[in-house]
């Protein structure tokens, strides 16, 4: 199962996320849930980096499927919007494929 924890501050702004695990929907290379989540997550990180240029911290581990992304202080509302868009996409995947393959949690930090 993929576990995604989205970090939300007291102002209800999404400021990062931690994604880990593998969906287990199908065999490696055929798992459309894992592929969809990966595409959304990587696109969000690339968009913040290339389109917005906000600074962030990123920790990854390919074996566990870990991607931990956090915006640094002074982030823009554009980055918050990009993470909100990620959450919308992940909610759609969770709705269509179920919590058996992806669990999405919003955590106040």
Residue 15, domain CATH: 3.30.70.1490
Determine the Cα–Cα distance for residues 4 and 7; give it in Å rounded to an integer.
10
Q: How large is the angle between the packed helices 77-97 and 32-47, nearest 10 degrees?
A: 180
What's the structural domain count of the chain? 1
| CA 44/CA 6 separation, integer angstroms | 13
Mean pLDDT confidence for 15-27: 95
Q: How far apart are CA 66 and CA 54, in angstroms?
A: 21
Residues spanned by the domain of 50? 2-73+81-108
User: What are the strands, taking DSSP E only, across 1-109?
Assistant: 2-8, 14-20, 56-61, 66-71, 102-108
This prediction has a pTM of 0.94
Which stretch of 20-29, 49-58, 86-95 has the lowest confidence by average pLDDT?
A: 20-29
Mean pLDDT for the chain? 96
The rounded distance, in Å, linking the Cα atoms of 50 and 54 is 9
Summarize pLDDT for 57-89 with one digit per residue, the tens: 999 998 888 999 999 999 999 999 999 999 999
pLDDT at residue 7, rounded to an integer? 98
The pLDDT, as a whole number, for residue 78 is 98
């Amino acid at each position: 199962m993929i576990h995604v924890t989205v970090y939300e501050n007291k102002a209800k702004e999404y400021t990062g996320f931690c994604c880990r695990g593998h969906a287990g929907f199908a065999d490696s290379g055929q798992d459309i849930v894992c592929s969809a989540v990966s595409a959304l997550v990587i696109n969000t990180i690339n968009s913040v980096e290339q389109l917005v240029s906000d600074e962030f911290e990123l920790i990854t581990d390919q074996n566990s499927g870990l991607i931990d992304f956090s915006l640094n202080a002074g982030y823009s509302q554009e980055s918050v919007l990009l993470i909100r868009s990620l959450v919308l996409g992940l909610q759609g995947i969770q709705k269509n494929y179920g919590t058996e393959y992806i669990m999405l949690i919003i955590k106040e930090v």
